[in-house]
Structure 1
Amino acid sequence: MVDALAAAPAFALSWSGLSAPSRVWSTSTQRQRSTPSGTLCAISALCAISVVRPARRGSLRATKDDAPKVVLMGDSILDNFYWLQTPKRHLRVRLREQLANSRNAKVRQLQCVNLAVDQMTTFDFAERKASDNPWDVYAKARQQVDFEDDEDKEYAVDSDGVIRSVEHLKRLSNVQWVVLSLGGNDVYLNPSVKSKLVGSLLPPMEEQRKEVAEEFAQRLKTAVEQVRKAQPGASLVLVVPYQPHEEFSLLMGAPINDEGKRIYGDILGDGTRVFERKILPELVNPMVMEMLALSRELKCPVIDLSQTLDPTCEEHYGTGEIGRVNELGVPWSGAEPSDVSCDFLARLVTHAVTQGPKPAVYRGRPRQEERGWTMTIREEKNDWIFAKDYRFGGKPAMRKKQGDGGAPPMFKLGALDSFLLGAGVVILVNVVLIAQGNSPLGFDRTEFEQRLEVQGFKAKSG
């Protein structure tokens, strides 16, 4: 294995790909054992900036020294304790152990600080208020876990009850790397983003997918600019989120009951899960492409979890098994990391830091063996060739036969059939949301009719 750490610090972010020249490294991980218990929640994020206020006592107690640091920022991909079978063995702990075991002396010196908070988005990355995006369930859960370090007991929250991640980053000394995971919660939690993506299934509204990606790119760039301004000497690592497990629906959740036990015969839920599995890569791929473009611009590495976690393997998600509950009473979730995949991520981050800042995409190839899980790390150069063939989740993107280089339509149907299918999907989504007591997704009739007319779908008046 090659060990090379650039002298300059770095950042890390979550989502991405596959392609051209590649290198391969091999690592292994032993299976962890622990106990069960049950509950449920969600994903990732970033944006603005604000006034500096003193942090609550103890929130950064263990991070005031001058040791070189890797800082985790963003969502539950990095702040994952709540969902694990063994919450005390969360990412900050595992990453610290991986760094300490590195062959590279500079890497071994790195300490790990967590500023990530579950459910973070690009909309509230710089300033997150509990009234808009609460985190109390995770804060209370942290008090219940028997962490070895006091810094893991609390989030870095200002005295006025607001989380200002960028301001807390600014107060840290000797930050070498920032690992940034944002985007997943933008899709999962923001009604406007969700509405546009679902609406984009209608043929006249497909352009909304590109609009969502461009708007996400602007918010992500703003977040990155704020991070770089707070720590000019640090390097960046971006993280591409994973695909949810095939048994998990962003609308219907996991196939479990109120006690966290697995249920069968959920016809509506199972149908929704199958359909989401087909369409999700197409809906979010433009957002990932923007992330890859930003990585090329910044010359920073990307960790692609969408091509690392196996969406057919329960052990890569949540408590590791549908029906298993952890010590906090939290059940399995197919949209959160597990003990096993947390270890994968710690190894990928350590590898990225060791290799230094460069426009590369790293993904793992896990393999389950008798002694536990092993993982080969693959490196791809993030260039235009890689981007041309990239697809979220790893399957190669097909091209239109006509030859404009774009991806083909999701469904090979006529205009009317395609319209009816898209409309049916939108109606189904809203039925599910209403049945769950949520508000239906918005629909702008004027905009819809204008797009129909432009694309020739609307009948000409007599």
Structure 2
Amino acid sequence: CMSARKHLVLLGDSTLDNIIWLKSYKECVKYKLSEGVGVDVEITNYAADGFTTTNILEGGVPALSYYKRLEVDPYPCGLTNFKPLEHLKELHARHPVTDIVLSVGGNDIRVVLRSISQLQNTMEAFINNYQEILEACLDITPRVILMMQYRPALYQDEVYGIYHSITMGTGNAIEKMNMMMQTMYPRLISIAEAYALPLIDLPNTFDPRFSDLFCSQIEPSAFGSSLIAKMIAHVFDNHEWTQSKFYACSPENYKKIPSTTNVELQNIEATVNDGTNWSIKGLPDLSRDDINKWATNLDEEESSEEENEEGKFAMQLKLLEEMGFKKEECLPLLKATNGDVVQVIDLLNSD
């Protein structure tokens, strides 16, 4: 019977809405998750590529993935201001929502990396916004799964230059990234503890050296989709909702399934969240061969630096052209923003 089915809503950014970066719908997080949780679970995707916490609260035009999703996973509105929380309430009134996955924050930080002096203010705004979003979700259902943002790909830094941008802190680029993320999450972790919510610990799951988990440095690839979907499905099936726990799968505990775009997870660890005990562990000591198993595109990445600017931004250009923008307008802006599609769209629309 229909009422016995679970109804899971995805809410957030391209860590859940990554369709435009992949060859087909079957490679994206939502599709792989639907395979993982089975037919008794209906999934509604209210995540929107490019959205920040402010967009989740106030709305935004879901321009990045709108056309690619139209046939397979359409938004509940036209190409207008999409307000995820308002649509969530309306959906819940029609078709009760039992579970929510919330994954947002990467775009807040990506935007501020252009102006590192604003980092403290952005962190504060992010935490306040996140808390407001979470409270709105908890008004709908107590079963809210929080997905923490992974660290970007280390060997694709030519795309956004994220590691190059981080000047705060000491140590190497990874250590600085760890420090920044460890300042983002403590308040949210204590809120999760208060409500017995599960946290999918992607910072301790995604290895930033595993290039094949990523597209364009910050998006989940098809393999990344599989890892995220399997983590969500595990938490969805196993969390008991009596106390908050972190769920992580250490990089040595998953591997590619040959001839597929899926990963196999051997051991997902659950650790009780006492509100204070989270940190990003050091990168596992893996051999070069182990890391190279996740670098099938290494040759392409190395040669791409020698290609012309058009080749470097080929994926972004194709996307912008599909949205109706002219290549000659886009290319100079892609160069100026180092390939930041969201910023380019903002600039084109403001002219």
C-alpha distance after superposition, 1:239-260 (max 9, x if no partner):
11111111133xx5269xxxxx
1:345 CA displacement: 1.3
- What secondary structure is seen at the aligned counterpart in 2 of 1:113? strand
Change (3 A) 1:370 1:187: closer
Q: Which of 75, 78, 83 is 1:155 aligned to?
A: 75
C-alpha contact 1:344 1:364 (8 A) present in aligned 2:
no
- What secondary structure is seen at the aligned counterpart in 2 of 1:309? coil
Which whole-Å CA distance do the structure 1 matches of 2:247 and 2:67 have between them? Answer: 34
Larger radius of gyration: 1
* Residue identity opposite 1:391 in structure 2: S
C-alpha distance after superposition, 1:258-287 (max 9, x if no partner):
xxxxxxxxxxx9966996434221122111
Change (3 A) 1:72 1:270: closer
Match of 1:164 in 2: 83
C-alpha contact 1:214 1:290 (8 A) present in aligned 2:
no
* Residue identity opposite 1:88 in structure 2: K
C-alpha distance after superposition, 1:24-70 (max 9, x if no partner):
xxxxxxxxxxxxxxxxxxxxxxxxxxxxxxxxxxxxxxxxx754201
Change (3 A) 1:109 1:193: farther
Change (3 A) 1:124 1:190: farther
Matches within 5 A, 1:94-243: 94-100=32-38, 109-130=40-61, 135-143=62-70, 150=71, 152=73, 154-157=74-77, 161-172=80-91, 173-190=95-112, 194-197=116-119, 208=120, 212-229=122-139, 231=140, 233-243=141-151
275-284 or 75-84: bigger deviation: 275-284
C-alpha contact 2:131 2:188 (8 A) present in aligned 1:
no
* Residue identity opposite 2:58 in structure 1: E
Matches within 5 A, 1:419-430: none
Matches within 5 A, 1:77-88: 77-88=15-26
- What secondary structure is seen at the aligned counterpart in 2 of 1:227? helix
C-alpha distance after superposition, 1:375-394 (max 9, x if no partner):
1211111114xx34x323x2
- Among all aligned residue pairs of Structure 1 and Structure 2, give the percentage whose two residues are the same amino acid: 23
TM-score normalised over the length of structure 1? 0.53
* Residue identity opposite 1:383 in structure 2: D
Match of 2:236 in 1: 353
Which whole-Å CA distance do the structure 1 matches of 2:221 and 2:336 have between them? Answer: 29
Which whole-Å CA distance do the structure 1 matches of 2:203 and 2:86 have between them? Answer: 30
* Residue identity opposite 1:180 in structure 2: L
| Shift >6 Å, 4+ stretches | 269-274
Unmatched runs of 5 consecutive residues or more in structure 1 = 1-64, 101-107, 144-149, 198-207, 256-268, 319-332, 397-433, 439-462
Which whole-Å CA distance do the structure 2 matches of 1:120 and 1:270 have between them? Answer: 21
C-alpha contact 2:50 2:64 (8 A) present in aligned 1:
no
C-alpha contact 2:112 2:122 (8 A) present in aligned 1:
no
* Residue identity opposite 1:292 in structure 2: I
C-alpha contact 1:244 1:334 (8 A) present in aligned 2:
yes
Which whole-Å CA distance do the structure 1 matches of 2:184 and 2:128 have between them? Answer: 11
Match of 2:159 in 1: 253
Change (3 A) 1:192 1:368: closer
Match of 1:40 in 2: none
Change (3 A) 1:277 1:164: same
- What secondary structure is seen at the aligned counterpart in 2 of 1:368? strand
Which whole-Å CA distance do the structure 1 matches of 2:28 and 2:257 have between them? Answer: 24
Say if 2:255 is the partner of 1:368: yes
- What secondary structure is seen at the aligned counterpart in 1 of 2:8? strand
Q: Which of 381, 389, 399 is 2:272 aligned to?
A: 381
Match of 1:447 in 2: none
Match of 1:338 in 2: 221
- What secondary structure is seen at the aligned counterpart in 1 of 2:10? strand
Unmatched runs of 5 consecutive residues or more in structure 2 = 284-332, 338-351
Match of 1:314 in 2: 211
Change (3 A) 1:177 1:303: same
1:374 CA displacement: 2.2
C-alpha distance after superposition, 1:94-136 (max 9, x if no partner):
1111111xxxxxxx62211100000111112133233xxxx32
Say if 2:301 is the partner of 1:391: no
Change (3 A) 1:367 1:225: closer
* Residue identity opposite 1:187 in structure 2: I
306-315 or 186-195: bigger deviation: 186-195
Q: Which of 269, 272, 288 is 2:185 aligned to?
A: 288
Change (3 A) 1:194 1:125: farther
Q: CA RMSD in A?
A: 3.1
* Residue identity opposite 2:102 in structure 1: L
Match of 1:69 in 2: 7
1:79 CA displacement: 0.5
1:140 CA displacement: 2.4
Change (3 A) 1:158 1:228: farther
1:341 CA displacement: 1.9
Say if 2:27 is the partner of 1:89: yes
- What secondary structure is seen at the aligned counterpart in 2 of 1:70? strand
C-alpha contact 1:73 1:114 (8 A) present in aligned 2:
yes
Which whole-Å CA distance do the structure 1 matches of 2:193 and 2:123 have between them? Answer: 17
Change (3 A) 1:272 1:123: closer
